[in-house]
Amino acid sequence: HHEDVFLTCQPGHSHAHGFTLVDWRGGRARRGCEGLLLWNGGTVCDDYFNWNAAHAICRAMGFRSALAYRSGLAYGAMQRRKRIRMDDVRCRSGHFSSCHYRTRHNCSHSEDILLTCHA
């Protein structure tokens, strides 16, 4: 049972697959603004990350598409305190169901994804 999965769903709400965008203070980023991409509270590394991944993750969070992405250590101490939780994100299309990733990483926070989604 150590691999059991528990889901909590809200009727009528899209499921964000554990992704959020946060600002430099760690609060939710404003719609249409760049944010540090978090997955289950930790950062996402840029290895293999591309436009398919950017679009897929923005759509998973309920946005239309991605506008921009980059990597870097832009959020200082708040960013450094986060664990790196996702690496090697590979998506065959702009839908998250086509994506594969690893939860082990070989990254530093200078490789964290900063993402801007189209509101």
Please state the pTM of the whole predicted model: 0.85
Question: What pLDDT shows up at residue 13?
Answer: 40
Nearest C-alpha neighbor of 16 from the set 50, 46, 59:
59
Distance separating alpha carbons of residues 4 and 56, to the nearest angstrom: 25
Quick one: pLDDT band at residue 31, thresholds 50, 70, 90?
confident
The closest of 92, 5, 79 to 44, measured between CA atoms, is 79
Give the helix/strand (H/E) hosting 76.
Answer: helix 76-80
What's the whole-number average pLDDT of the chain? Answer: 88
pLDDT at 82 over 60: yes
Under 8 Å between Cβ of 14 and 81: no
